[in-house]
Amino acid sequence: MKHLRLPSLPRLPRLACLPRLAHTIPALVMTAALAPAAAGSAAVAAAAAQPAPVEKNAGIAVFGATPAGIMAAVSAARAGEKVILLEPGYLVGGMMSGGLTKTDIGRRETVGGLSFEFFARVKKYYAETYGAGSTQAKECKDGLFFEPSVADRVFSDMLREAGVAVLRKERLAPLATVTEKNRIRSFATRHYETGAETTVRARVFIDATYEGDLMASAHVPYRVGREARAEYHESLAGRGGEPARYRGAGDHRVQSYNIRSTLTNRDDIRVPVPRPRIYTPEPHRHFIDYVNKHGIRTFEELFHDAPLWGPVNGKSDPNKADYPGANYAYAEADYEMRALIAGRVRDYWASLWWMLQNDPALPDGFKQSARKWGLPKDEFVESGNITPQLYVREARRMLGRHLLTQHDLERDRWKPDTICMGSYNIDSHDVSFVQTPGGLAKEGFLISGVDAYEIPYRSITPLAPDNLLVTCAVSATHIAYGSLRMEPVFMMIGQAAGLAAQMSHRENIAVQDVSIKELQAALAAAGIPLKAPFRPVVAIVGPAGGRAVAGEPVQFAARGVHVRSPLQYYWNFDGSGEVQGTDPAPVFTFTTPKRYTVSLKAVDADGTHSLVEQQTVVIGADTGPDAGVTVEGAKLTGRWDRGSSRTTEGRGRVNHHAMDIDKNPKTATFAATLPRAGRYRVAFAFEQGPDRATAVPVRITHAGGADTVLVNERERGTPFAFRPLGEFRFEAGAPAEVFITTEGADGRVTIDEVRWLWLGE
C-alpha cells in the first residue's frame, strides 16, 4: 500500500491547520504488527491493482461510523434522506464495538431516543439468543453491557434497516475536501487496502469522527489541549499537581488514551495474550511489588474490581493501562503517525497482561492464575483479537457558535436551543507524568460531579461553513468535554445532527438557520429529554475590588441568580469550613492581613442546595494563599481508590477512598513547610457518606507536640467540604504534618485536602 504524503506547505496557525488524518487503526496496520511479511505483500498487491476512482452522491454524507455517526445516519435516513456513511476502520460502532462495552451513562433519565433503542435491541438479542432468564440476559444490565461483536451486529442491523449506504476502510484523502462559497462541496477518501479513491458529494455533511477530521479539513477552527484556568474562569482548568507555581496554566496536552480491548476467562474461547512487539514492563512493575509484598495469590485478588469489568458471556472490559504522554501528537498526526501511536498504546496495554502471566519475579501460582485470562478468539478477528480502536478520549475540539465551559455544566445549565443533556462527572484521566521532589507523579486526573445540563445546538454548528455539523469534536473546553464525551450523549447529539441535516436539506437553508422549535419538537417526539433539573444559583457580592482593611467590618451579600423560593444561607469566611454566618447580608471582620477564600452555600424551601460559591478577599498586602496539601501531594501507604465529591469548593475535589481489598491499615501523611511561625487553624476536607467511618484518627504534629482528633465522616456537620480540627502553633520551616490512618475504623475512610490557616503571631 502506497502512503501519500502532503507536499511541503507553509506552517498554518494551530487553530486552523490542515488535516493529514485517520480515525481508527487500520486493520492492515494492526495485521502488520502480527505478521509483517504477509501484510507487506498484501499492500504491494493492493497498490498494483488499484481500482479506478468512483463518485458517490447523497443528500447527507456522514464521515465516521462512531455511535454518533451511526445515529446521525439512521435518523436522517428514517426521515427519508439518501445517506452515505463512511468509516475509516473495519468496525462500525467506534468505542462501543471497539471494546468500551460497560456503558458510562450518567443519569439514566437524561438519555433517550435512538440511544435507548440501541440498548433495547441489545437486551432483546440476549433474551432471544440465550433466554430471558439466562445469565447473559441478566449480565447485560438491560442492554447497557454487551460484547463488542454484539454492538457491531446491532449497529449494522440499524443501518441496514434504515437503508444507509455504508463504506468501511475509507480514509480521508489529503487535501481532498473541496469548499466553495462557504459550503463543503465534496471530500475524497482512499480505501486503505485496495487504494480505490472515492469522491463523496452531498448537500449536508456531518463529521462524526472522534478526532474532528472532516471539520479540520474544511478549515473550521479548533483547539487541542487544555485551556488556562484564567482563560474562561474555569476553576478546574489548566495544569494540576506540581510544581504549584504552574497550576492552572494551559498547555497542548490531552488526557491519556488506552485501548478498551476485551479479556476473557472462558476456557473455550480464550487465546493467550501475545508478547508485545515492544515489551515495556517497567511502568507496570508496581503490580509485581504489590503482589510480592502482600502475598497476593490470584489475579482476582490483585484486581478486586474484576467482577465490575462489565462481564457479559465471559467477556470483560477492564479499562486499564492508560498511557499518559504517548498521545500528544495524535490529534493532528497523519495516518502513519497515528498508527505508530496506536501500536505503542496497544503494546503498553499488552505488556501489563503479559508481564503478569510471565514475569519471573512473580510467584508461579499467581502467574498460573493470571494465565486463566486471555483474548477472546471470536472478537476483533481482523486485528489479532485485540481491538483496532484506540480510546480517543479527547482530540480536536471545535471553536463553534457556543463554547461549552465549566460554567455551562455547573451554573448556567439551561439553554434555549438544547438538543439533549449530559450528566456524567467532569472526568479527566491522567494527562502527564511530572518529576517532583517526592518522585515521579501523575498529573491531570480529575473527577467532579455535575447536575444534568443542557447541550445547545450552537455547540455542534460551526460559524462556517453552512452545511457542516459536528457530533463528537463538539465546541467545548477540556473541562466541559470531560463530561459530555460519553457515548450515550454522542448518540443523542448524532440523532439531533441527523434530524437537523434533514431539515437543512429539505428547506435548502444553512444548518445554522434550522428552526430550533421544530428540531426540539422532533427530538422530544423521539424520546430525548431536553429539560435539566433545577438547582438554585447564587452569587457573592463582596468588597469593591476584593480588598479590605484588617479590623474593619466588611459587608457581604448573597445575590440570587436563579432561584424559585426563599433561601437559607451558610457562609464561611476563613476557609476552615465552619459556618460563620447565616444572614443574606452578613458583616464579617477579618483580623489578620492575608488572602481569604469566602464561601457561600444556599438551600431553598424545597431542600435543594446550591453549589458552593467562592470569592477571594485580600486583607492588607496580598501574601498569597494559606498553605494546603491536596491528596495528590500526600504520602500514601496501602491501596486507595480515587473518587470525587459533590461538595465542590473552588476545584473538583479528587478524594481517595480506602480500599477494602485487605485488612492492612492504610495511611496518609499531609506534610507542609510553613513560611512563618504563629498560630494556625488546621482544616481537613473529606467526602461525607452513610458508609463512612465514625471515628477516623487524625494526628496533628505541631510545635507543642502532637494531638489526635477523631473525625466522624458519616456525619455531615457542615455544608462545606472542610472541617476545622483545631488551633495549633507551628514554627517556620519546621515539619507540619497531619497523619491519617484507617486502623480501627468502622467504615470507609476518605481523604481530600489539609489546610493550615494562619491566624497571626
Is position 203 within any domain? Answer: yes
Say yes or no: 145 and 97 in one domain: yes
Per mean pLDDT, which range of 86-95, 646-655, 671-680 is the poorest?
646-655
What are the backbone angles phi and psi of residue 571, rounded to the nearest 5°?
Answer: -115, 140
User: Are residues 33 and 154 located together in one domain of the fold?
Assistant: yes
Residue at which a domain ends, from 383, 415, 434:
383
Clarify whether residues 572 and 499 are in a common domain. no
Strands (E), 374-494: 375-376, 397-398, 418-422, 426-428, 432-436, 439-443, 446-448, 453-456, 468-470
% helix, strand, coil for the chain, step of 5? 25, 30, 45
Poorest-pLDDT segment among 214-223, 224-233, 373-382, 727-736: 727-736
Average pLDDT over residues 185-203: 96
Angstrom CA distances, 739 to 89, 244, 390, 496, 729, stand at 52, 22, 41, 52, 17
Asked whether residue 270 falls in the same domain as residue 202, the answer is no
Does 2 fall in a domain? no
* 8 Å CB contact between 431 and 226: yes
Domain assignment present for 1:
no
Contact partners, residue 168, CB within 8 Å, separation at least 6? 65, 87, 89, 90, 91, 92
- Looking at the structure, do residues 474 and 512 belong to the same domain, yes or no? yes
> What is the reported pLDDT for 662?
56
Please check whether residues 349 and 487 belong to one and the same domain. no
pLDDT tens figures, 510-535: 999 999 999 999 999 999 999 999 99
> Strands, E, within 343-387: which ranges?
375-376
Tens digits of per-residue pLDDT, 551-595? Answer: 999 999 999 999 999 999 999 999 999 999 999 999 999 999 999
User: Residue type for 57, please?
Assistant: N
Last residue of one domain, picked from the residues 383, 401, 423: 383
What pLDDT score was predicted for residue 659? 62
For residue 20, what pLDDT is reported? 36
d(CA 412, CA 541): 18
Same domain, 250 and 169: yes
Residue 120 and residue 58 in one domain:
yes
CA-to-CA distance for 450 and 63, rounded, in angstroms?
31
Total domain count, the chain? 4
Residues 163 and 90 grouped into a single domain: yes
The residue range of the domain holding 615 is: 537-619
Question: At 33, is the pLDDT very low, low, confident or very high (cuts 50, 70, 90)?
Answer: very low
pLDDT of residue 496: 98
**Is 140 in the same domain as 213?**
yes
Looking at per-residue pLDDT, the higher value among 434 and 160 belongs to 160
> Residue 343 falls within a domain, yes or no?
yes
The per-residue pLDDT for range 307-327, each reduced to its tens digit, is 999 999 999 999 999 999 999
pLDDT > 80? residue 23: no
The pLDDT score that the predictor gives to residue 418 is: 98
**Grid coordinates representing 163?**
437503508
How do strand 165-168 and strand 83-87 relate by DSSP bridges? Answer: parallel
Regarding whether 697 and 637 lie in a shared domain, the answer is yes
Find the CATH number of the domain harbouring 596: 2.60.40.10
pLDDT at 13 over 80: no
Residue in the block written with cell 496580598: 622
- Looking up residue 122, the CATH number of its domain turns out to be 3.50.50.60
pLDDT of the residue at 413: 96
Among 160, 33, 152, CA closest to 85 = 160
Asked if 671 and 728 sit in the same domain, the reply is: yes
What is the mean pLDDT of the segment spanning 193-197?
Answer: 95
9 has a pLDDT exceeding 60: no
Residue-wise pLDDT tens digits, 448-457: 989 999 999 9
pLDDT at residue 79 above 90?
yes
